[in-house]
Structure 1
Amino acid sequence: CLDLPKFGFIAFRGQRVTRSNALAVRRRLAVVFQEPLLLDTTALENVALGIKLRGDGHRATEKAKNWLARFGVLHLAQQNALTLSGGEAQRVSLARAFALEPEVLLLDEPFTAVDVMARTELIREFCDILADSGATVVLVTHDFREVQALATRVVVLDKGRVQLQGKPDEIGAHPVWRALAGSAVLP
């Protein structure tokens, strides 16, 4: 459960989000969590569902197959999503998010469930797909290698407060980052 803010407001693209426009705003976003949240149905049906719910039912299967192919898991389309490996499930989750054609993609540690060897390949594929999509990505990660590979702008938070902002190379060299991160995640 997310905490409700005690003060302030949320704005999206310069407009305040209210109860009356929240659904319209949510339809411009997609989210991928650290742990894949897939339904007990096929990988194809997991990706197609969001497309159908957004009103494009006649093309849902075709679009879902296209996105599964882009993430290298089309061969798993008819497999139950709950039987997929962590990496396969995360690829399906990413395909599901991109299939919605979001303006903004919120990613919460999306590569953590993927083994190290597959992670590098997935990040490379993700970068290519992202470049084609034009979506803005908000990435939450503790892995500075992911920051270097994916980010153009970085905001470092510690205890809920912004500590640093800048480009990845500026952040990586900053003494505050080094103090917060520790040597385990530094390049």
Structure 2
Amino acid sequence: MLVVDLHCAHGHHFEGWFASADDLSSQKERGLLTCPVCGDHDVTRRPSAPHLNTSGLKERVPTPFRGTSQAASSSVPSTGAVASAGSARPVHDSLPAEAQEAMAALQALYLKAVRHVVENTEDVGERFVEEVRSIHHGDAPERAIRGQATPEERAELAEEGIDILSMPLPDALKGPLQ
């Protein structure tokens, strides 16, 4: 099992688990490796320290990791890799530690909100605009739905008095949740 630190071009840091280094390379080449936060395919491996067995040390060495255990509670499967986007890792290395922790906490909260929406709505896909109009006019049963709409379609719905919420959904969360 190979566990690596990854990051996307937008600065989101996450962890990936792979069967081997070849599996990591294969998934990257096939475009299966994506950021669980923004869906970016420009994902690169970060340097990471190997596991060191320090159980024989007499004095315990404090770790520099300053995360919160609450934020690290969930993981998202991402096309064969397990991406732990909720872990409190620095999002932008140039920010102060407090800002890094706040960014990581916000990222974890965003993913929690997106997961809640996915779990509690019906995906109607490209039929979203027609379905939301049908619900609004009483032609379809009222229920929570999600789907795709262009910016123009969203503007038309707003003009008709139909309120919707736009929420980017990372590709990793579009599949089955585990």
* Bucket of the pairwise TM-score, normalised by the shorter protein: under 0.3
The answer to which structure has the higher helix fraction is 1
Higher relative contact order (CA 8 A, sep 6+): 2
User: What TM-score do you get using the length of structure 2 for normalisation?
Assistant: 0.27
User: What TM-score do you get using the length of structure 1 for normalisation?
Assistant: 0.26
Instruction: Name which one, 1 or 2, has greater alpha-carbon Rg.
Output: 2
